[in-house]
Structures are given as structure tokens and as C-alpha cells.
Amino acid sequence: MTTGMPATTPAPMNPPGVLLDPYDYDFHEDPYPYYRRLRDEAPLYRNDELGFWALSRHSDVHQGFRNSTTLSNKFGVSLDPASRGPHAAKTMSFLAMDDPSHLRLRTLVSKGFTPRRIRELEPRVTQIATQHLDVLMERAADGTVDYVEEFAGKLPMDVISELMGVPVPDRDQVRAWADGVMHRDEGVTDVPPAAIEASLNLIVYYQEMVAERRKTPSDDLTTALLEAEIDGDRLTDDEVLGFMFLMVIAGNETTTKLLANAAFWGYQNPDQLAPLYDNLERIPLWVEETLRYDTSSQILARTVAGDLTLHDTTIPDGDVVLLLPGSAHRDERVFDRPDDFVIGREIGSKLLSFGSGAHFCLGAHLARMEARVALAELFKRIRGYEVDEANSVRVHSSNVRGFAHLPMTIHPR
């Protein structure tokens, strides 16, 4: 794989002041002014220093997601150097594959990870949410409470552990490792040693769990994956492990960020949120507008396979192209008043938070169900809240957006 090669046609000159650095803390705090300039002035952007191109307009991002031949997933979907390469599928499963390998693995996984299994999980998700809310409300009674630490950061990983069959006593440790996989300190543009150690700990834990399920099957997703079979074809242990790890990264982190982003932007737009306290049926609309307005998954990488021509420029084979759904959702070419948070606006198939085409997120229905249940259970207990913006802390990541800490004051019903 080659990156940063000169284009066969001259690369467009970026206009002065137009910049995209996915590792910059100022960009993490508010990427949307950067995105606007990209869409307006450099719809095909080139960063020579970091060796990538970027697409920011909705039509280009949408087509990019649907182009799974010329824009390949085989080296992974992260810009981080340690995460990119032919090894990416070990931790990102079929998300880091092209067809036919992608289709085979996704089809087998789908035999265990079914919509029915997700539906049947909902009562248990409600129970887990209730348990964490009990603690949240108890601590909120003494003043400010960290919504991420006590609720949004706990529920998604516990739901994944429930789904996989991780014993309850192990879940705090598994959640801590999962958090360690994603954490980045300022200025770090690659996977740090602590994250690699956390990844290894998780993999070893899941290896032992898979070995145990081979001996003693259970009624969980891990067993369902081991038993999934199509015409004699089964998943290997490594393939099961890869999918379990993908769930930790893609399913845990993005849903945590979705729950916190929903709370933050709801607080910022009280007129939009007020009707939901007496009408919980509108909570899915709150979830959808959050996914559009400030999506967890902001940046996804692809690798050019063969030559690709966009905006009168030929991008050479092997170069990295970043797709920016976070920018696409603020494109005024597609959305009316895109910078306004409007619960109930028409979004439909224009939403790109879960991708599109062959790689559409297999866990989209799980994420939406979790968010709906979590926010509904919260609103059954409260009549309002205030976010302590001054002490809120954003997560620093090259591809996801959300909060590491979101302190708030809660008013119970």
C-alpha cells in the first residue's frame, strides 16, 4: 500500500486557511466551521502532511459509502497508522474487508446477530438502564453528577457484555479495558501503548470466553456465533474474536457518545426538548436528530483501489480518502437550516451515521434501541437538567465525537 503519492493529475490547491487535521484539539471542540469551509472551498481536500484526501459534501460522502469497489475497506477505516493495514480485520472484523470475504463473514455473523435477538434483549436493556439510573439519581441528589461516568459510559458496554454473555462480576473490568482501547492523550496521532495493552487484555479475555463456550454452550451471542453455519461454512475462533472486538469499538464507543451528545444538545435547545417530557413517543426523533446534528462517527477512512477521479482530480491507487459524515449532515445542499437542532425534522435515508450500501452498520438497530430505552427511562424520572458546560470534557479521537465527562444537575419528577 502506498500513500501520499503524487496524483496523476495535479492535486487541487487548498484555499488559504482551509485545514483538516483530525488530531487537532481545536477541531475536536467544534469541527463544524472547518467542515463548512471544506464543503464550500475544497470539496476534495488534500492533506500532504498526514497523507490523506477528504470528501465533505453529502452527495460525495454518500456515494463514497456506496462505492465499495474503488473505495476499499481492506486496510481498515481508521486514519491511525497502527490501526491501518492488512491486519485491520483482526480487530475490525468484516468492517475491514471487501467482498467476497466481507459478504461471507457478514452473512455468517448475521445468523447470530439477528433483529429478533436484539428485540428480545430490550427488557434486559431496560433493567440495566434502570440499575445505572438508580445510582445516577442517588448521586445527583447531592449536587452535580457526571452523566457519562454514571450512565452513558456504562450502559452500552454492559449491554454488549449482556449480549455476548460476559458474567456480571467481570463487566466493570471489561468496560475499563474497552475505555482504555479508545483513550488518546493530546498530540498522540497513533494507538498508544496503554491502548495496545488494553486491546490485548480484552482479546485474551474473549479468547478464554470463546474456548469456554466451545466446551459449554450458552444462550448468548458468543455461542450463536460459534454455532452459525451456512452450507458447512462456520466462523473460526479468530473471526468470532474479531467481531466481538468490533462490537467493543464500534458498538460501545459510538453509543456512549450518542447518549451524551443527545443530552448536551437537548440542554442547548430547551424548546425542542420540553415536549418530550410528556410525550416519550418522540424520543426516537430526538435520537435521529442527534445522529444527524452531531454524529458520534465523524470520520471514516477508505483506501483507493485502482484510480479514482473526483472533482476533476485523479486520486492514485493506494491513497487514503476520508469520508466525513459529520460534515455531510450539515450540508445546506441537502438539509434546510442544517445548523439548527430541530427534533422531528425529515431525515430518513439522508442519515449517514451508520454508513450506506454494503457496509451499512449491522448494529444500527441495537444502537437506536439502546438510545431510545436509555433516554426514555431517564425522562420517566426527571423533569429537567442543566449541563455544567465549563467542566464538560470532550473526548479526543481522530474519528468519534462526544464527551468524556458531562457533569449535570438533575431535577427529579
Contact between residue 119 and residue 231 where contact means Cβ atoms under 8 Å apart: no
Q: Alpha-carbon dihedral of residues 135, 137, 138, 142, nearest 10 degrees?
A: 130
Q: What is the pLDDT of residue 98?
A: 96
> Is the link from the previous residue into 6 a cis peptide, with omega within 30 of 0?
no
Containing structural domain, residue 372: 25-108+122-149+251-412
The fraction of the chain above a pLDDT of 90, given in percent, is: 82
How many domains, the chain? 1
Angle between helices 254-268 and 364-381 (to 10 degrees): 40
Secondary structure letter of residue 21 according to DSSP = -
Q: What is the pLDDT of residue 1?
A: 43
pLDDT for residue 116 is more than 70: yes
DSSP 338-355: TTS--TT---GGG--TT-
Encode pLDDT of 256-272 as tens digits: 999 999 999 999 999 99
CATH of the domain at 262: 1.10.630.10
Residues pairing with 238 in the sheet? none
Nearest to 244 by CA among 211, 197, 291, 195: 211
Locate the DSSP E strands across 305-402.
Answer: 308-310, 313-315, 320-323, 382-387, 393-394
Encode pLDDT of 358-410 as tens digits: 999 999 999 999 999 999 999 999 999 999 999 999 988 888 999 999 999 99
pLDDT for residue 31 is more than 90: yes
- Distance (Å, whole) CA 261 – CA 267: 10
Q: Give the H or E element holding residue 54.
A: strand 52-55
Q: Is the sign of the CA dihedral 406, 411, 125, 215 positive or negative?
A: positive
Encode pLDDT of 274-302 as tens digits: 999 999 999 999 999 999 999 999 999 99
Q: In this structure, is residue 266 part of a structural domain?
A: yes
Q: In this structure, is residue 81 part of a structural domain?
A: yes
Q: In this structure, is residue 57 part of a structural domain?
A: yes
Encode pLDDT of 225-235 as tens digits: 999 999 999 99
DSSP 110-159: HHHS-HHHHHHHHHHHHHHHHHHHHHHHHHHTTS-EEHIIIIITTHHHHH
Nearest to 262 by CA among 148, 158, 122: 148
Q: In this structure, is residue 230 part of a structural domain?
A: no
Contacts of 297 (CB under 8 A, 6+ apart): 254, 325, 326, 353, 399, 400
Locate the DSSP E strands across 65-104.
Answer: 71-72
Q: In this structure, is residue 192 part of a structural domain?
A: no
Q: Alpha-carbon dihedral of residues 94, 96, 102, 104, nearest 10 degrees?
A: -40
Encode pLDDT of 35-46 as tens digits: 999 999 999 999
Q: In this structure, is residue 381 part of a structural domain?
A: yes
Q: In this structure, is residue 73 part of a structural domain?
A: yes
Q: What is the pLDDT of residue 9?
A: 55
More confident residue, 175 or 389: 389
Q: Alpha-carbon dihedral of residues 382, 387, 392, 398, nearest 10 degrees?
A: 70
Q: In this structure, is residue 9 part of a structural domain?
A: no
Q: Give the H or E element holding residue 230.
A: strand 229-230
Contacts of 69 (CB under 8 A, 6+ apart): 98, 305
Whole-prediction pTM value? Answer: 0.93
- Distance (Å, whole) CA 315 – CA 53: 8
